[in-house]
Amino acid sequence: MNSEHNFLLKLSNFSSSWTGTIIIVLFFIFFVAQAFVIPSGSMKNSLLIYDFLFVKKFSYGMPTPHIPWLEVQVAPDFNGNGHLWEGKRPQRGDIVVFRYPNEPKTYYVKRLFAISGDEVIFAPRAMYLRPNMSDDEIRKTYGDENLFKIGGKFYVREPYKNLGIYYDSSERKDNFGGQEIDIFSIATMFAAQGRFAMSAIFAPELAPLDGLDFNAFYFKVKEDEFFMVGDNRENSNDSRFWGPINYKHVVGKPWFVYFSWDGDKKEVRWDRVGRFVDSLESDERYINASK
């Protein structure tokens, strides 16, 4: 009994010391959850600018730990996939926090649109998904009413019915220097400069575009890659522009909002504080309040 009491006393003393506190905090950040703030409007109306949230680090395996802010890796990448141990891969429709492939110290958050073997078509004000499934499986999963035939294949138009997904061409594009033109036009300019990940195609089943010999962009996702797209379809710098991410870039899944600040109204969004992200993206009250 005395030995148990002594152990608990030592543990209490250690945890209350500066060293113990730092170790406990780092353990929490490395292996449980890490704080993250939504910096842009690319995930409106599911996640809002200045939503402060915790990211669940163990959702898709355990990422190789980094010291926060400094982003210094503190453990070897033994598996060569950015994770101490592997877990399940992100699933279609998941909101995922990941490292931006072109600048791994920067974190992004987007919705997973397509996984290995899937095909993606991006057209004006529409996204189409050809899941890596048989036609029968696609029909069973998504329903005939959502299917659209392009190039002899079934595609699902807007496969994710989350309430926060929307198109607004009139919105200023804070992710593209404040431009006010639609994102397909922005994509066309990027493609002309060789800075766009998708390939231009002409799909006879889609409406032609004046002055262009193509009317959509196409991409097929490779093995163990993930095609990420923002819910704010017209204002998201995402995989359409810089390509898919690898499993090594995956950090975790947004968990819950611990604080939320409305920068325009200069007030706390109390209705979002303490809410799980799953509830925010599926509850019409919070989606409507963000519009």
**Beta carbons of 166 and 173 less than 8 angstroms apart:** no
Q: Which of 44, 56, 110, 173 is catalytic?
A: 110
Q: How many CB atoms lie within 10 A of CB 147?
A: 15
| Helix intervals (H) in the chain | 2-16, 18-31, 135-142, 183-192, 239-242, 277-280, 284-289
110 is catalytic: yes
| 38: Cβ contacts below 8 Å, ≥ 6 apart | 47, 48, 49, 50, 51, 52, 53, 109
**Beta carbons of 153 and 166 less than 8 angstroms apart:** no
- Tell me the two tokens of residue 43: 């995930």
Q: Considering only CA atoms, which of 102, 111, 110, 107 is closest in space to residue 36? A: 107
Q: Which of 42, 59, 260, 290 is catalytic?
A: 42
Q: How many CB atoms lie within 10 A of CB 231?
A: 24
Backbone angles phi, psi at 187, to 5 degrees: -60, -40
42 is catalytic: yes
Residue 162: is the preceding peptide bond cis (ω within 30°)?
no
Q: Which residues belong to the active site?
A: 42, 110
